[in-house]
Amino acid sequence: MEKRRGADFLKRLIEVALPIKEISAESVRDKSLRHGHISTLHLWWARRPLPASRAIVFASLVPDPDDAECPQAFQDAIHRLLKGDIYKPIPPQEDTLRNRLLSFIARWSKKQLEFEAGKISTPPAPKEMLDENCLVKWESSINPKIIGIARELVQAAYGYMPTVLDPFAGGGAIPLEAVRLGCNVIANDYNPVAHLIERWTFEFPYKDGKPGIP
């Protein structure tokens, strides 16, 4: 068996683990969001939730930091960017680089943990279920600090910003989140309506929108 070499052969985080419950909770919330959401352009019949799309794109791009062949530069970036208590894994999870990276993608808020432990009787509102520092939260999409961390981690994994290809992009959720993560994106769809939605979603705003908005 040929030894894996380079970024294209590394085991990706998505192949190992994802915080599915947490991502799902924010994806349910995503269905009710309207202001500033791409669904207001056109109710695409097979719309992908943005939180799930962001998590999948990110976890597909970065390697598993606990893998023996993970680049040292990527592990160092996690040490530098995800240090401290903000992304410290919730017990009984071990404090490993992989678990810190998963906590960055999505983790329960303090209120949600207290509710699950029976310390409070009222469940948190949908927008309060996840920690405010999570990548998949709706508010994180315009948070330059969190998006900046995600972009630095992707850059550290490759040494450059990779290109994401989506030839069946539909309503544009996958390419939008890839653009948000700083990647070069090539996207298209045979359906002309979908193609127009894609251009209005992630091409025109980046060319003609307000500066400084990720």
| Residue 38: predicted pLDDT | 65
* For the chain, the helix, strand and coil percentages under 3-state DSSP, each to the nearest 5: 50, 5, 45
User: Cis (ω within 30 of 0) for the bond into 92?
Assistant: yes
Task: Give 199's DSSP letter.
Answer: I
| Residue 37: predicted pLDDT | 64
pLDDT at 63 over 90: yes
CB-CB contact of 141 with 147 (8 Å): yes
Task: Pick 99 or 200 by higher pLDDT.
Answer: 99
Average pLDDT, the chain: 87
Mean pLDDT of 7-31: 89
pLDDT in tens, 152-194: 999 999 999 999 999 888 878 898 899 999 999 998 888 888 8
Task: Find the range with the poorest average confidence among 107-111, 120-124, 132-136, 186-190.
Answer: 186-190
Task: Pick 37 or 183 by higher pLDDT.
Answer: 183
| Residue 197: predicted pLDDT | 80
Mean pLDDT of 115-130: 94
| Residue 119: predicted pLDDT | 94
Nearest to 134 by CA among 15, 39, 52: 52
Q: Where are the domains of the chain?
A: 7-160
Q: pTM of the entire structure?
A: 0.87
| Residue 51: predicted pLDDT | 93
